[in-house]
Amino acid sequence: MRKILFISVFAALPLLVHSDPAQADSASSIVGEVQPLNTGEDVYRHVCQGCHMPDGKGATGAGAQFPAFAGNTKLQSGAYPVYVIMNGYGGMPWFSGTLKDDQIANVVNYIRTHFGNHYTDAITPADVAAQRPAAPPQEQ
């Protein structure tokens, strides 16, 4: 019987991160620099398109369904995709702990103005912040 060696990306991560500044340049040449996700298109490409596809038409498979953004009337209200991104829905994880308010606003505006959508009333980072749950009280 063969044994299969599986190394998680997260398990291998410490091997790629160096604390020695002299080695940092060699590590970045192997891994590459982390790119900031400043635009809605950046966020979509690096976070969303793996499930919702580059064309925004969604996908079905492996027991999951990833809804299309193309022509999706649920995007008419900008508050809806903000809520889903922040809280998750169905098999989609929540991203409120990962993405900043401006990143969520940018990606929502991107999907609402691309893939055949023409919703031009832009979401702002303040709109996103208003939907964030209040932080739990700190114990003293």
pTM: 0.71
- By C-alpha distance, which of 102, 77, 98 is closest to 86? 98
DSSP single-letter state for residue 32:
-
Write the pLDDT tens digit of every residue in 20-64: 444 444 444 556 666 789 999 999 999 999 999 999 999 988 788
Mean of the per-residue pLDDT values for the chain? Answer: 80
What is the pLDDT at residue 139? 66
What pLDDT shows up at residue 20? 45
Quick one: what percent of the chain has pLDDT higher than 70? 71
State the residue for tokens 């980072």. Answer: 125
Rounded to whole angstroms, how far apart are CA atoms 42 and 37?
5
Domains of the chain with CATH codes: 40-131 (1.10.760.10)
**H helix or E strand, kind and range, residue 60:** strand 59-61
Query: Does position 116 have pLDDT exceeding 50, yes or no?
Result: yes
What does the pLDDT look like over 117-133, one tens digit per residue? 999 999 999 999 999 87
Identify the residue with better confidence: 55 or 15: 55
**Best CA proximity match to 81, nearest among 50, 121, 136, 36:** 121
Residue 83, pLDDT > 60, answer: yes
